[in-house]
Amino acid sequence: MQRNATTQFPILLVHGLFGFDRVGGLELFHGIKQALRLAGARVFIPYLSATHCNEARGEQLLAQMDRVLNDTGSARVNLIGHSQGALAARYAAAVAPDRVASVTSVSGPNHGSELADFLHKALTPGRLPGPVASRIATLFADFISLLGGQTQLPPAAVAALTALTTEGVGAFNDKYPQGLPKNWGESGPNRVNGVRYYSWSGTLPDAPGEGRQAMDPVHAFCRAFSEYFITEAGQNDGMVGRFSSHLGKVIRSDYPMDHMDTLTPGAGQARNGMDPTELYLRHAERLRKAGL
């Protein structure tokens, strides 16, 4: 079936923490950009700092938005942000709503991340029992090594975690509340200051599937990280809680996918019956039908 993703405004796919041009050996938004372009969309991937606060990354996004607008002659852009990229997109829309047609949060920590809370405590001496702090800190460092090939945890990564904690995002939300639901677990306003807001996310499947953790080490880390969720235990993707991801019109927040599956297809894609590329294509068609 021929797809039609010819949105009125260009689409910018905004990466999150630790993203740059590659994540875990795969290009950012692997296959997604090409599929959208084949369906008629104009797609760009702005490159933001891999580790920085939400506002700084938002300012970087604004500068790259302007270049896209100048190059395409378009008046506005559609922003689709994965993970912390959603917060950068929210910042850009709050500061310059006249240049943003829509913001879509994909697995975004819009109310903070319990994992970030726990990691922040683990990396602060005396906040957690030594063995517990050592275990989670080592797990996190190993995860960063897997993604970026670094042998130790970069100092900037520790600082960036503060911006993703419940407290850090709470302060961010006080300044930029557009699209947030009034009550926990609900949808937020669909439109604020002329900008449409959408979100979708996933939760870890009930069972990892035969051999999946061996085949997909990133998924194994997501399962390990999920143990540190309390409020949203069993309702998270390994890095972000289901209800913490809600923003604007919630398309769905329990796709059977881990945090990285919503960025690029993982080893468990066929078993889960979910294709992340298809979700992005459907959403581009949704934006087109909305005149965006």
Is residue 259 among the annotated active site residues?
A: yes
DSSP secondary structure letter of residue 91: H
In the set 83, 105, 113, 187, the catalytic residue is 83
Q: What angle do helix axes 166-175 and 54-72 make, rounded to 10 degrees?
A: 50
Please tell me the number of Cα atoms within 13 Å of 130 on its side-chain side: 0
In the set 237, 253, 261, 283, the catalytic residue is 237
Instruction: Please give the C-alpha separations between residue 82 and each of 28, 90, 182, in angstroms, as whole numbers.
Output: 10, 11, 22
Residue 244 near residue 110, CB atoms below 8 Å? yes
Closest CA to 35 of 241, 214, 279: 279
Q: Is residue 4 helix, strand or coil?
A: coil
DSSP secondary structure letter of residue 241: B
In the set 244, 259, 261, 283, the catalytic residue is 259
Is residue 237 among the annotated active site residues?
A: yes
Please, which residues have CB within 8 angstroms of residue 63's CB and are 6 or more apart in sequence? none
Beta-strand ranges (E) seen in 64-203 are 77-82, 100-106, 191-192, 195-203
Helix H or strand E segment including 281: helix 276-289
Is residue 52 among the annotated active site residues?
A: no
Q: Annotated catalytic sites, by residue? A: 83, 237, 259
